[in-house]
Homo-oligomer: A and B are copies of this chain.
């Protein structure tokens, strides 16, 4: 939303452009140096921190809606978004997550106009994993801020969004065992300790310091380079890198990482 006029038109005529009573919400995980975070947004109309979300246009696919909405709400584009679950409890949007006083200050509320926004709404959850970058809030007149929170220590979110994050974590952690991950989240060259730390943050589990990297090596997913990191006289771990061919093949066909 770039102007109040645009917002008023959305409330009044949104039913022509958007599918009523169905939305998309996105759990954007961010990784940096052993930490797993989640991106939350706060705007003037919401009473709590929420996941970035919005309505789906009648002319777009669910994937297109998720990409457009995250880009608009957070300024982050080019995410590899995975759909993980739809949420349809009839009571899920009865919570008072929208500040009706603030809403009525902005728009003269007419129950006829608001009709398409009323009633039980189903939301379709997507998740993505990105390097923690500076999220640049989009020029949305309602945005206050968008910020990273620890995935394991979130505040109470609006609607059922805490449940969405739990389910996204669950799905992401299963996905982790079947598809390669990390090429855009780790530096081009990394130590075995760094990739183990990355998988530990993602899976929420402690991994065996030698079995785990050996599995990655035996699958051909990562390979040794000739370079070492020079930390000190007796500590100079070898750098590894992803084998791009194996990685791309596994992205398509899946693998078994256990």
Is A78 an interface residue, CB under 8 A from the partner? no
| Residues in chain B near residue A58, CB distance under 8 A | 90, 119-120
| Residues in chain B near residue A61, CB distance under 8 A | 88-90
Q: Which residue of B lies closest to A179 (CB)?
A: B174
**A115 CB, min distance to chain B CBs, angstroms:** 12
Contact B256 A86 (CB under 8 A): no
Q: How far apart are the CA atoms of A120 and B22 in the complex, in Å?
A: 12
A172-191, CB under 8 A of B: which get 1 and which 0? 00110110000000000000
Is A62 an interface residue, CB under 8 A from the partner? yes
**A216 CB, min distance to chain B CBs, angstroms:** 14
| Residues in chain B near residue A8, CB distance under 8 A | none
Q: Which residue of B lies closest to A178 (CB)?
A: B174
| Residues in chain B near residue A256, CB distance under 8 A | 177, 258
| Residues in chain B near residue A22, CB distance under 8 A | 21-22, 122
**A23 CB, min distance to chain B CBs, angstroms:** 11
Is A85 an interface residue, CB under 8 A from the partner? yes
Is A19 an interface residue, CB under 8 A from the partner? yes
Chain A residues in the interface with B (C-beta under 8 A): 19-22, 56, 58-62, 65, 83, 85-90, 119-120, 122, 124, 174-175, 177-178, 256, 258
